[in-house]
Amino acid sequence: MNTCGFIDAAVEESVQAIGEALAENGKVIVTGCLGARTGAGGESWVRGIHPAVLAVTGPDATDQVLDAVHTHLARPHEPFFDLLPPAGVKLTPRHYAYLKIAEGCNQSCSFCVIPSMRGKLVSRPIGEVVREAERLVQQGVRELLIVSQDTGAYGVDVRGRTDFVNGRPVRTGIQDLATELGRLGVWVRLHYIYPYPHIAQLTDLMAQGIILPYLDVPFQHAHPRVLRLMRRPASAERNMDRIAAWRAVCPGLSIRSTFIAGFPGETESEFEYLIEFLKQAQLDRVGCFAYSPVQGAAANDLPEPIPEPVREARRARLMQVQAEISRCRLAARVGTVQRVLIDQALPGGGIGRTGCEAPEIDGVVRVSATGPLQIGAFYDVRIVDSDEHDLSAVMVKSRSGSQLAESASTGSDPVHGGAR
Ligand code: SF4
């Protein structure tokens, strides 16, 4: 059972899921952030609640988890598992994969305990990351989802140290990494980018079609005082200017963000400021959480906590405002021809995503065709309808992976394909 200790709601869900798994078969190994939490005497916090679990580890403890599995479940001779591919076993569908480029975080946001659980930023060597990406692409991955706690800070801990990619010296940094991954001819999507000034260089790569024009930027709030209380990285005052500058460089940019409503001390007028920011920013996709205290977070000590019903009402209001914005932004795409990657085949077409939609967190494109579409294949589709979250489309033509690589290398837009 992989667990999350990010907010108290996630802790509760993890604890409940462990209980359900124990009730199901009684054999549970716990790993992830919550596994690292200890009680006052240094004992496992999870074990204190569920003494029957077989083993508990912290995050990134693959070897310890496998040791625990082999201790409790003798490993039979199995020709398939004995011939594991070099990239290991992936839990995502064959055509997309998460690529973790760093662990830990150098920030100290007041609502977050991840740095205390996962430590300071440690970037993987760029050569190692690119080699893993190449292996994934060779195995059929068509979309790489780049993740870490603070993706824009990749390489800062090693001061951009030079490493080697296929014999070439390359600096360890997010722009160099994005450029190298862009050479692989697949979709490259960046998650968890903070609005640091150097992000502008990434939008250049997006405009050139080297990586997807998609920015997942967790702004969390817009009001400068609340952002200071949150101790968020990058100065917030210029965020609206930054968004305008990113869009000027890359007009097709899709921006996703998350926000916290009802942070301790947030006044009604500061919340209104956030609503005004949303109306002006016209972000494409937004998630919002009502503030939830996390055990051990500095924000718990802030004065003037907001009552839970007010936090929830503000969250609902924010999502209502954003729903209308998202509806309008999706409606503006009706009539365009866009490229989709198919995630699911249906008798009369399939369900896919354009470069503007990340799997599992954004909406989808429902494509009508004469028969089932191929999972993991690219198709050009014409958008014919939209709602608050999703798009509907009809097939125009299919495109292979090599055609995608060609359009990326020639600098044409690999995402939006044709025009209205
Ligand atoms: S940037 Fe802030 S919210 Fe994100 S992991 Fe680091 S401390 Fe937590």
pLDDT by residue (tens digit) across 187-210?
999 999 988 888 889 999 999 999
Give nearest CA residue, ligand 1 atom 5. 149
Evaluate if residue 226 carries a pLDDT over 50. yes
Q: What is the mean pLDDT of residues 45-69?
A: 84
Burial of 216 per CB tally in 10 Å (0-12, 13-18, 19+): buried
CA of 149 to the centre of ligand 1 (A): 6
Evaluate if residue 158 carries a pLDDT over 60. yes
Evaluate if residue 86 carries a pLDDT over 60. no
The DSSP string of 297-366 is: -GGGG-SSPPPHHHHHHHHHHHHHHHHHHHHHHHHTTTT-EEEEEEEEEETTEEEEE-TT--TTTS--EE
pLDDT band, residue 329 (cuts 50/70/90):
very high
Evaluate if residue 388 carries a pLDDT over 70. yes
Give nearest CA residue, ligand 1 atom 2. 109
pLDDT band, residue 408 (cuts 50/70/90):
very low
Give nearest CA residue, ligand 1 atom 1. 107
Evaluate if residue 412 carries a pLDDT over 70. no
How do beta strands 143-147 and 96-100 pair?
parallel
Structure tokens at 196: 């640091």
* Residue 67: predicted pLDDT: 78
pLDDT band, residue 23 (cuts 50/70/90):
confident
Least confident of 106-115, 139-148, 326-335, 381-390: 106-115
Is the minimum distance from the CB of 163 to ligand 1 under 6 angstroms?
A: no
Contact between 152 and 194 (Cβ < 8 Å): yes
More confident position, 75 or 32 = 32
Ligand 1 binding pocket mutation candidate from 100, 106, 112, 113 (most atoms within 8 A of CB): 112
Alpha carbon of residue 191 to chain centroid: 4
CA atoms of 328 and 113, how far apart (whole Å)? 36
Is the minimum distance from the CB of 115 to ligand 1 under 6 angstroms?
A: yes
pLDDT by residue (tens digit) across 94-129?
999 999 999 999 999 999 998 888 899 999 999 999
374 forms beta bridges with: none
* Residue 80: predicted pLDDT: 55
Q: What is the mean pLDDT of residues 311-323?
A: 98
Is the minimum distance from the CB of 149 to ligand 1 under 6 angstroms?
A: yes
* Residue 414: predicted pLDDT: 36
Q: With pLDDT > 70 as the criterion, what percentage of the chain qualifies?
A: 90
Is the minimum distance from the CB of 109 to ligand 1 under 6 angstroms?
A: yes
CA of 117 to the centre of ligand 1 (A): 11
Ligand 1 binding pocket mutation candidate from 7, 100, 103, 105 (most atoms within 8 A of CB): 105
* Residue 415: predicted pLDDT: 37
Is the minimum distance from the CB of 105 to ligand 1 under 6 angstroms?
A: yes
CA of 161 to the centre of ligand 1 (A): 23
* Residue 165: predicted pLDDT: 94
CA of 151 to the centre of ligand 1 (A): 11
* Residue 234: predicted pLDDT: 64
More confident position, 233 or 133 = 133
Q: What burial letters (b/e) apply to 367-396, b meaning 16+ CB within 10 Å?
A: bebeeebebbbbbbbbbeebeeebbbbebb
Contact between 211 and 190 (Cβ < 8 Å): yes
CA atoms of 396 and 230, how far apart (whole Å)? 47
pLDDT band, residue 413 (cuts 50/70/90):
very low
Residue 42 Cα distances to 22, 45, 298, 374, angstroms? 24, 8, 21, 52
pLDDT by residue (tens digit) across 259-285?
999 999 999 999 999 999 999 999 999
| Radius of gyration of the chain from its Cα atoms, rounded to whole angstroms | 22
pTM: 0.81
CA atoms of 281 and 381, how far apart (whole Å)? 28
Give nearest CA residue, ligand 1 atom 8. 112
